[in-house]
Structure formats: structure tokens, C-alpha cells
């Protein structure tokens, strides 16, 4: 066979293989179109038993735990993206992950957030989140931050200040825990859910994580609480203004002109607050700050 004919044969083989692969890809697209609705209906955990998976992993259970954790993160991310309220597989995925590797702290830390956040940001299952943290504490007695997270869940979601304070005290018992844990417990017992306590708890959350998603959530909450604190201060001044001038101010500029403010107060994104006809302050519609009403003090109106 001549060199030229060998060259052309090789090229023909490459072209033929390319054409065949293109045909295979087109065929796969058609198969996907047919099977996707079926696949979407069958969203379930085929193997739902952690201990069983541990056995069949042949000793590679820690690697399997990483895979299941990644699957849980992907599942949560997918639901979050679709604004879905059905997080039914999440508890199972987290249970398998932590059974396969009881020391995978990240699964307790973030898993509790995924479970506790209200829908559509999470499963809204604070009870399961607390159970997960408790399992984590049992398997990792040194991980004081899991106790702190449990305290956070009682404080923020369940508004059970007694249990929140007890959880922070449990965290404080660990010699590695920062002294702020004991302060946090005392503060919750004393002041319950006031704004400063809420901000301190979110600040603790902010400093305990390096993950950008958690940092953003904590930052959003801190900014929201700061805005709420500012609004309450402006509302109080607005009432004073009304008492003095017989009408509500229309803007914070009027409060400043009246000498009640030294400057124009800005929200955490740098936009001035607005004041409504009823004298109540609020965020400018263009502001990206999200204000969430925090748990109230028992004696707070």
C-alpha cells in the first residue's frame, strides 16, 4: 500500500468516526428527550440506608461520604435555583453522609442551615436540623461550634431562649471554645431576642465560617438587622419631631435640618432611608438590604 493511499485511508477513518459520533450524540439527544420526564418523576434515594451503604463501600466509606455530601449540596443548590419547596430527599442525604462519616463536620454545619432555613431557601425543618446537630455533637464532642449552631437554631428559628442559652453554655464548656460563648448565653438569658443580641449571634456565625455562601447569608442578616436598628432610631426621632412640629417629617433631611440628626443616615448599602406619611421610616425601594423581623423580647411591644 502506498503512503498516499494510507494517508487517505487514515483520514477517511477519522471522518467516518466523527460522523458516527455525531450520529450517536444526536441519538442520545433524542433518547434524553424521551427519558427526561421519567427521570424527573423518579427523584428518590435508591439506597437510603446509611449502614447498608457503609457495608457495601468495602471500607471506602469516607470517600462515599464525600460523594453523598456533594450530592446533598448539589440537591440543595438545585432546589434553591428552582425555588422549589420540596426538599424531601435532603434529610436522607444528610443522614447517609453523616452515617458514612460521622466526623464530617461540614455536613452538620451546613446541613443544619439547609434544613432549617424556611422554604424556598431551605427545608424549613428546624427539628431535623437540631437532631442533625445533636448527632454531630455526640460523634464529635470536641466540636463546640455544633453546640453554638444548635443555640443559634433555638434562638433564631424557634425563639426558645432558654434552650438557646443552654446550648451556648454547652459550647462554652469546651476549653477550645471562645469566651464569647458564655457571654452569648448570659446575654440571651438576660435580653432574649433584642436586636443587639441578634446581631452578636449573626456576627459569631460570620466569624465561624469561611464559606462565601454562609458569609453572604450572615452579612445579609447583619445588614438587615442594622437597617432595622436604624429605622427604629429614626422612628423614635420622627415621633419627637411630630410632638414638636405637629407633623411627621417627610425625609431624614428634615430631621437633620431640625438638628435632630448630625447627618443623613444611610442604610448598609449607602442609600438614605425614606420616611412615609405615617412617620415610619423604611428602606428605599432601590436598596438591596433585606429586613427580616427578628424574634421579639417577651417585654417588647
Partner 1 sequence: MSSMASPAAGSAIGRPVAGAIPGVVAVNTFREAVRDRILYNLIFFALLMMGAAILVGQISIGIERLVIINLGLSAISIFGLIMAIFIGVSLVSKEIEKRTLYSLLSKPIRRWEFLLGRYTGLLLTLVVNTSLMTVGLAGALLYVSRHFERGDASILLAVYFILLQLALVTAIALFFSCFSTPVLSTLYTIGIYVAGVFANDIHAIGQFTRNPAMEAVTRVIYYLLPNFHNFNIIAVASHGEAVPFSLIWQNTIYAALYAAVVLIAAAAVFSRRNLK
Rounded to 5 degrees, what are φ and ψ at 65? -60, -40
Binding flag, residue 63, partner 1 (CB under 8 A)? yes
Instruction: Give the integer Cα–Cα distance in Å for 53 and 68.
Output: 11
Which one, 65 or 185, has the nearer CB to partner 1?
A: 65
SS (H, E, C) 99-113: HHCCCCHHHHHHHHH
| Site mask for partner 1 (CB under 8 A), range 68-87, x = bound | -xx--xx-------------
**204 three-state secondary structure:** helix
- Cβ 29 to partner 1 shortest distance, Å: 24
Helix, strand counts (H, E) of the chain: 12, 2
* CB neighbours of residue 16 within 10 Å: 10
- Cβ 75 to partner 1 shortest distance, Å: 12
- Of residues 101 through 140, those in contact with partner 1 by CB under 8 A are 101, 103-104, 106, 109-110
- Cβ 106 to partner 1 shortest distance, Å: 4
Is residue 296 within 8 A of residue 193, CB to CB? The reply is yes
Which one, 73 or 228, has the nearer CB to partner 1?
A: 73
| CB-based burial label for 188 (10 Å; 0-12, 13-18, 19+) | buried
When binding is defined by CB under 8 A, the residue of 213, 216, 232, 247 that contacts partner 1 is: 213
Instruction: Give the integer Cα–Cα distance in Å for 174 and 145.
Output: 10
- Name the segment binding partner 1 (CB under 8 A); options: 11-19, 86-94, 99-107, 146-154: 99-107
| CB-based burial label for 69 (10 Å; 0-12, 13-18, 19+) | buried
- Of residues 230 through 269, those in contact with partner 1 by CB under 8 A are none
Binding flag, residue 211, partner 1 (CB under 8 A)? yes
When binding is defined by CB under 8 A, the residue of 60, 162, 288, 296 that contacts partner 1 is: 60
Interacting residues toward partner 1 by CB under 8 A: 55, 58-63, 65-66, 69-70, 73-74, 101, 103-104, 106, 109-110, 211, 213
Amino acid at each position: 500500500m502506498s503512503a498516499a493511499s494510507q494517508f487517505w485511508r487514515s483520514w477517511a477513518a477519522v471522518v467516518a468516526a466523527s460522523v458516527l459520533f455525531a450520529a450517536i450524540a444526536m441519538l442520545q439527544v433524542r433518547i434524553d428527550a424521551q427519558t427526561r420526564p421519567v427521570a424527573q418523576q423518579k427523584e428518590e434515594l435508591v439506597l437510603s440506608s446509611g449502614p447498608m451503604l457503609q457495608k457495601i463501600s468495602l471500607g471506602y466509606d469516607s470517600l462515599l461520604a464525600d460523594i453523598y455530601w456533594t450530592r446533598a449540596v448539589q440537591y440543595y443548590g438545585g432546589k434553591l435555583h428552582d425555588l422549589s419547596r420540596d426538599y424531601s430527599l435532603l434529610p436522607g442525604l444528610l443522614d447517609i453522609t453523616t452515617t458514612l462519616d460521622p466526623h464530617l463536620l461540614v455536613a452538620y454545619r451546613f446541613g443544619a442551615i439547609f434544613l432549617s432555613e424556611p422554604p424556598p431557601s431551605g427545608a424549613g425543618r428546624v427539628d431535623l436540623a437540631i437532631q442533625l446537630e445533636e448527632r454531630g455533637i455526640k460523634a464529635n464532642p470536641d466540636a463546640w461550634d455544633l453546640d453554638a449552631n444548635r443555640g443559634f437554631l433555638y434562638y433564631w428559628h424557634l425563639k426558645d431562649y432558654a434552650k438557646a442559652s443552654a446550648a451556648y453554655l454547652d459550647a462554652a464548656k469546651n476549653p477550645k471554645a471562645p469566651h464569647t460563648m458564655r457571654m452569648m448565653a448570659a446575654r440571651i438569658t438576660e435580653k432574649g431576642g433584642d436586636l443587639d443580641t441578634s446581631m452578636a449571634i449573626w456576627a459569631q456565625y460570620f466569624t465561624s465560617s469561611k464559606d462565601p455562601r454562609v458569609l453572604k447569608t450572615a452579612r445579609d442578616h447583619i445588614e438587615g438587622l442594622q437597617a432595622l436598628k436604624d429605622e427604629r432610631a429614626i422612628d423614635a426621632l420622627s415621633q419627637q419631631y411630630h410632638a414638636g412640629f405637629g407633623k411627621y417629617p417627610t425625609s431624614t433631611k428634615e430631621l437633620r435640618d431640625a438638628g435632630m440628626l448630625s447627618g443623613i443616615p444611610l442604610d448598609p448599602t449607602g442609600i438614605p432611608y425614606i420616611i412615609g406619611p405615617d412617620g415610619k421610616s423604611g428602606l428605599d425601594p432601590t436598596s438591596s438590604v433585606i429586613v427580616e423581623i427578628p424574634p421579639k423580647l417577651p417585654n417588647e411591644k
